[in-house]
Amino acid sequence: MNTPRTIAANLAKVLHGQDANIRKITGAWIAGLHVLLDDYPGTGKTTLAKALARSLDARFSRVQFTPDLLPSDIVGVSIFDAQSQSFRFHEGPVFANVLLADEINRASPRTQSAHHDLAVEHGLGFAAEYFTFFGRDVGVQRDLACHAAHQEEG
């Protein structure tokens, strides 16, 4: 069983000097919340998210948010399979237990809205099908979003 202390200890082994972020992430995970990390590049945010996923034996996914990213890039798409004569849904990176949404403020409002809806609703409707993050072997899904702080400096 992964207790909060065990998770925090595992994270502290990987990332030194990030005690405040480790406490925030561990607390948020236990409380069922999402986290927004606002920090400069190279401070270990991706490493911290990967270590959290490893510590929990969970699926990790990372999305680099860019101005040209579309909602379907993070949610997934339905593709027609000629052999079976039907559409198959191909899951996007949001179907993970720990999702790192890197530089989320760089994406278009439409893509940010799609991501926000997923985070709040814990599921998505797509092509007359509803996927829930608490049912389809994804288990508990949490977001660690990173804000591109360096773009707002002087």
The domain spanning residue 99 has which CATH number? Answer: 3.40.50.300
Helix H or strand E encompassing 146: strand 142-148
Domain that holds residue 55: 4-152
Q: In the structure, what pLDDT confidence band is assigned to residue 144 with cuts at 50, 70 and 90?
A: low
Q: In the structure, what pLDDT confidence band is assigned to residue 17 with cuts at 50, 70 and 90?
A: confident
Closest CA to 46 of 98, 96, 97, 10: 98
pLDDT of residue 41: 79
104, 141 in Cβ contact below 8 A?
no
**Is 60 exceeded by the pLDDT of residue 40?**
yes
For the chain, how many structural domains are there in total? 1
pLDDT of residue 124: 59
